[in-house]
Amino acid sequence: MPTAPGGESVTDIRGPVADGPVLVINAGSSSLKYQLVVAESGQSLATGLIERIGLADGSARHTVGGQDHVVEQEIPDHAAAFEVLNEQFAEHGPDLQSAGTVAVGHRVVHGGAQFASTVLIDDDVLATLRRLVPLAPLHNPGNIAGIETALQTFPDLPQVAVFDTAFHQSMPPAAYTYAVPLAWRQTFNIRHYGFHGTSHAYVSRRVADLLDRPLQDVNTVVLHLGNGASACAVEGGRSVDTSMGLSPLGGLVMGTRPGDLDPGLPAHLARVAGMTLPEFDHALNKESGLKALAGDSDFRQVMKRRHAGDDAAALAFDVVVHRLVRHLGALALVLGRLDAIAFTAGIGENSPELRAAVLERAGLLGVALDPAANESPDGETRISTPESVVAAFVVPTNEEWEIAREATRLLANH
Ligand code: AMP
């Protein structure tokens, strides 16, 4: 039976997890994040971040045994980044081979409707991923570059793709269907997909363990609040609705993305401002959200400004909270019965103020906040009172562990 951080048993509805370290890769267009993580225990053996790929001033940090090893050099492309990764492991350990690495697990943002679960990567999978690029033009190309290079770097290791969208493929048609022309839906797979699936899967599983109840019996709304943010209704371990849709732009207010908008907006701006679609796309991906409201995409900075009396930052906070409350209420009704609300990711794990603002407005759902627990949570922490009908938790997410579990589960089933 796999074990969780506290050593207690972990419930899972997708079958057993095998053992062994997995090299988890999260490749973006100009960065490469990695972690060597033991699938069964979640133990992290090494982590690394290679940044500014393609620029003259690249940097790589490899952390093992609490020690950072930093290299600063030009890293022209993903192939060079993987060379640096290999050198870092060779110089500072652990040795990937003698550590018994069993697989490479790649985070892939968009799996479309084609991938409802983790897959072993082969030429067909890569070809499908390339066809899916228009669905996530900012994310999937970097993921694909990482996969292509990793296949050359580690030809003897099985490599799997774990999709941010796959967890949400369990949504029913009523939740994922957009009311748009049939031809759009049939020809271009226009529908609600959802993202952050590995995080929502991990956190909802941990919530069931924290409640000491089987995952199948627990209904949770997970609020993944980082630079990107999404809310997910998880019924018995399966996603039944989520705030992000076709792209990672929808739903909650994010660092530079606006979340929900009126669909009439692009045509309106084209009429009144002559705005082109590429301009609109850029503004929605890079210039909206907290950045548009408060001049900074970083939540910590926005909170500093708010405390200093900045009206724009105060409004930004209120908009973020309002949107969260709205989605939380909607997802609770979708579930029909709510057992828990879980906060995760950079903001969700670290901002007592935001959690309190949301939960104080969620009294209708039967949540009673424990202010002391909320103020200083320590890892996985219950932040609702014992009498609270709906429990509330802070659960630090661990997408790398979830990807490692997915990878070994797939290998065990093959
Ligand atoms: P993530 O994308 O999960 O890394 O989260 C990044 C976001 O978390 C940024 O907006 C940060 O400002 C925010 N964040 C990180 N630490 C804190 C903190 N201590 N208090 C408030 N926000 C934080």
Q: Is the CB of 112 under 6 A from ligand 1?
A: no
Cα(152) to ligand 1 centroid in Å equals: 35
Instruction: Please answer whether residues 338 and 217 qualify as being in contact, where contact means their C-beta atoms are separated by less than 8 angstroms.
Output: no
Three-class SS of residue 403?
helix
Three-class SS of residue 384?
strand
User: Could you tell me the residue ranges of all domains in the chain?
Assistant: 21-193, 213-394
Three-class SS of residue 49?
strand
Tell me what pLDDT residue 2 has: 36
Q: Is the CB of 289 under 6 A from ligand 1?
A: no
Q: Is the CB of 396 under 6 A from ligand 1?
A: no
36 is written with which tokens? Answer: 């060597």
Q: Is the CB of 298 under 6 A from ligand 1?
A: yes
Cα(68) to ligand 1 centroid in Å equals: 22
pTM for the model stands at: 0.94
**Helical pair 265-273 and 277-286, crossing angle rounded to 10 deg:** 120
Tell me what pLDDT residue 4 has: 39
- Report domain 213-394's class: alpha beta
Tell me what pLDDT residue 13 has: 61
At residue 169, what is the residue type?
Q
Cα distance between residue 343 and residue 113, in whole Å: 27
Nearest protein CA to atom 4 of ligand 1, as residue: 346
Beta strands in 227-300 (DSSP E): 229-235, 238-242
Q: Which residues of the chain have pLDDT under 70?
A: 1-16
Identical fold, 21-193 and 213-394:
yes
307 is written with which tokens? Answer: 């405390």
What is the separation of C-alpha 46 from the centre of its chain, rounded to a whole number of angstroms? Answer: 20
Domain 21-193 belongs to what architecture? 2-Layer Sandwich (3.30)
Residue with tokens 């390339």: 130
Cα(253) to ligand 1 centroid in Å equals: 14
At residue 296, what is the residue type?
D
Tell me what pLDDT residue 19 has: 81
> Would you state the torsion angle of the CA atoms of residues 289, 294, 300, 303, taken in this order, to the nearest 10 degrees?
-120
Spell out the residues 6+ positions from residue 140 whose beta carbon is closer than 8 angstroms to its own: 108, 109, 110, 129, 132, 133
Tell me what pLDDT residue 414 has: 78
